[in-house]
Each structure stands twice: as C-alpha cells, then as structure tokens.
Structure 1
Amino acid sequence: MQQIYLLRHGQTDFNVQGIVQGSGIDSDLNARGRRQAELFWERYKDVPFDRVYTSALKRTQQSVQRFLALGLPHEATAALNEISWGTREGSRISPEEDAEYAHVLAEWLAGNEHAHLPGGESPAQVAARQRPFIEALQRQPAEGIVLVCMHGRALRVLLCQLLGYPLRCMDGFEHHNLGLYKLHRIGARYTIRNFLNVSHLN
C-alpha cells in the first residue's frame, strides 16, 4: 500500500488580501504560513517519507522546507502548479464582485471542464498536465510514503483524477492553507483516509 500525504501550501500575504495568485504569481509564505509549516513539521517529522513532490512555485517548497533539509529525494514540477487564472492573476476577485469569474465557476459546476477565464487554464488543461505526475506516482514503490505539496484549485483537480470523480465535483474537496489529505493506493485504486485534516495547526 502506498500512502500519499497531499498538502496545500501555507498562507501568503496574497491569501490574506484576497488577491488571486494562480501559477503566475510566485509568492512567499508570510509569517503565519511559516508557522503553519513549522506546525506541520512538528506533527509529521517522524513519518518516513520516501520522496517529496512540490510544484515549481516557491510557496510549496517553503511549506515543506524542513523535510527537504533532511535530504529526501525531491522533485519540483510544474505539473503541480496552481491553475492559471490568466488576466485575473494579481487582482482581488470573488464570485460576488466579478460576474465573469462567477460564470466560469458555474460552468465548471455544470460540467463544462473546458471553461476558463481570459488567458487562463481550464480544469481540463490542468488535469492533462497532471497526468504525467500521476503516472510517476504510480511508478513509485507500492509500499512507499510520499509527501506532495501543491495548490488549492490544482489539488481539487488532482483529487478528482485520483479518486475517479468528474471534474465538476472538484468543489466538494475543501482546502485550507497547510491542510492535509491522506490517501492510500492499492494497485490503481485510491481511497481517502483523512479528509482535510487541520488538527496539526491547533
């Protein structure tokens, strides 16, 4: 049985300010994000991880830096980058404030996985770039323990793919800065053992 610890990055100032980051904003963790990373380390430092995967963006690597400092094998891959929000990156938007953004979210919920904001990616495009990572994950030893740190929307897409859900179901997977999903894989079948565990942050 392979164990996958699937983690969202820690808090950034952009998170606090409600500014969209996406794949085009390479922000750092703020003080709270660094504290969240330390709390995660304290809870899980004794887990014998075999490998660490992060996105190519530094906020994910900073979130698991204590594990990387142990010399664990590490791969930073753009396959795990956040969805691109296109021209909206770097701006404050919410469904209440931006009708176009709300429309795209509604399209996703309705099953249109090819909808996207201007200049941005669709969930289908994110899923396509994640597939080589999923294949690499399945090539890891069947009894291994893997730590994966990535981003909120991309994490939702990945969970849909691993668990066999259509992408329209992705909003059913909540996320939180330094929140953890734990999955088990036997053969090609994944199951969730912990759904958004944040107990280490208390």
Structure 2
Amino acid sequence: MRSKSIYIIRHGETEYNRLGVVQGSGVDSELNDWGKAQAAAFFDAYEHVPFDRIYTSKLQRTKQTVQAFIDLGIPYESHAGLNEIGWGMREGRTPNNMDNAYYRDLVLAWRNGQVELAAEEGESPMQVRERQLPVIDLILSRPHEKCILIAMHGRAMRILLTTLFNQPLTEMDHYEHSNLCLYKLSYCYPDRQFTLEVSNDITHLLSLEIPHNS
C-alpha cells in the first residue's frame, strides 16, 4: 500500500514574533537568534529522517528554518501558495489596541462562518485555501516522494490542515501552533485519506535554554 509521510512545521521565531507584530505575507522577516536556535534543535532531532523533498513558502523565514536540511543536498522548492495569509494594511505595525481589536473581530468573524471576509488590503481564508490547492495537488502527484518536509506559517498551516482533512475553515483555530511546532501526517494513496499522527509537537525544543528576554 503506497503512502506518504508529511512533516509540516511552522517557521522559527522572528523578532516580529517576539514583539507581537503581525507579519503576514507582506513582511519578509528573518529568523532571530532564538529562531535560529529552534531551527538547529529541530534539525538535530530530525536529521535522520530520509526526506525526499522540502517545500517552503516564498518568505525567507521558512527557508532559513530548514536550511540545514537543504545543505545536506535534499531537493527543495519554494511556492508562494504556501505563504502566510495576507493580513493587509496593518502588517508590520507596532501593536496597538485598535489593531488588536480589529484582528480579534476578524478572527471571530471567520469562526462564525465569514471565511470569505478578507483583511483590509489582505486576504481571506478562502483565498488562501484556493492558492494552496495547486501546491497540494502537486505534492500528491508525486507518490515517489515518500517522505517530505513542509515549512510554512501559522495561519496558513491552520488553513492547510482543514483542507487536508476535508473540514470547514471555521474549524481552523482548532489546530494550535507555536514557532517551530510539528504536525506529522500520513497519506494513503489508495483511499486518499490523511491521518494525523503528531499535533503541535515541540518536544524537540525542550532542550533549549529559554532566553531571558522571552
């Protein structure tokens, strides 16, 4: 029976993450020192996994997260379809009460079924799902890749997981995440079904010493 193992991770921490600044797809930030340490810890834990290919978004923080695997010679591809949701005109701004209230209300609207509602000058969850679908189709069209690693973003990951498990987008907040967390799935080709094996796992980070500024 043909199957595929799929490891999906969120990128490591950026300085914007640390400061609580919304990045979305419009802010192409780098990993900070803690994010680089998270990436190194993940590599140490999963270096032995025989990944056939790595998929990242077009944003550099995802590629930086898996650079150590790429340096081993594992083929990789970057796809804009895996980019974070476009959070719109408020991306990159210092957090303030008005912006926080706007995003809180927006996410609540999504939970209540308004998944076609886009952030101002940004994207809706439905739009993100639509751009993810061709990437999903591409990945599943390659059964010879028996084990793959996908590096992406928090909200985009939530949207992807609901799509893979054929769930409505209103369920996406059930998939919790943190920087450099891991979701592991298996896909069985004959019945075209995904199975969730690991959810929001960060055990590979437990050996890290928490920085004083966190």
Q: Which residue of 2 aligns with 1:139?
A: 141
SS in 2 for 1:71: coil
SS in 2 for 1:124: helix
Q: Distance in 1 between matches of 2:110 and 2:144?
A: 34
Counterpart amino acid of residue 165 in structure 2: L
Judge conservation of contact 1:9–1:151 (CA < 8 Å) in 2.
Answer: yes
What's the CA shift for 1:98?
A: 3.2
SS in 2 for 1:161: helix
Q: Distance in 2 between matches of 1:80 and 1:119?
A: 19
Q: Distance in 2 between matches of 1:171 and 1:142?
A: 32
Question: Does 1:63 find its partner at 2:31?
Answer: no
Q: Deviations over 1:35-54 (max 9, x none)?
A: 00000000000100000000
SS in 2 for 1:48: coil
Matches for 1:117-196 after TM superposition, within 5 Å: 117-141=119-143, 144-187=146-189, 188-196=192-200
TM-score, scaled to structure 1: 0.96
Structure 2 spans left out of the alignment, 5+ residues: 207-214
What's the CA shift for 1:89?
A: 0.3
Q: Which residue of 2 aligns with 1:37?
A: 39
Please, what is the CA RMSD of the aligned residues? 1.4
Q: Which residue of 1 aligns with 2:210?
A: none
Counterpart amino acid of residue 78 in structure 2: A
Q: Deviations over 1:76-114 (max 9, x none)?
A: 010000000110101244788633222211110011111
Q: Distance in 2 between matches of 1:5 and 1:26?
A: 23
Q: Name the CA shift for 1:155/1:45 in 2 (closer, same or farther; >3 Å).
A: same
Q: Distance in 2 between matches of 1:150 and 1:193?
A: 18
Counterpart amino acid of residue 27 in structure 1: S
Q: Name the CA shift for 1:4/1:10 in 2 (closer, same or farther; >3 Å).
A: same
Q: Which residue of 2 aligns with 1:77?
A: 79
Counterpart amino acid of residue 41 in structure 2: L
TM-score, scaled to structure 2: 0.91
SS in 2 for 1:176: coil
Q: Name the CA shift for 1:45/1:129 in 2 (closer, same or farther; >3 Å).
A: same
Q: Distance in 1 between matches of 2:11 and 2:102?
A: 27
Q: Deviations over 1:99-130 (max 9, x none)?
A: 32222111100111111221010000000000
Judge conservation of contact 1:4–1:183 (CA < 8 Å) in 2.
Answer: yes
Counterpart amino acid of residue 78 in structure 1: A
Aligned length: 202
SS in 1 for 2:7: strand
Identity of aligned residues (%): 46
Judge conservation of contact 1:8–1:176 (CA < 8 Å) in 2.
Answer: yes
SS in 2 for 1:7: strand
What's the CA shift for 1:191?
A: 1.1
Which has the higher mean CA deviation after the structures are superposed, 92-101 or 160-169? 92-101
Question: Does 1:114 find its partner at 2:116?
Answer: yes
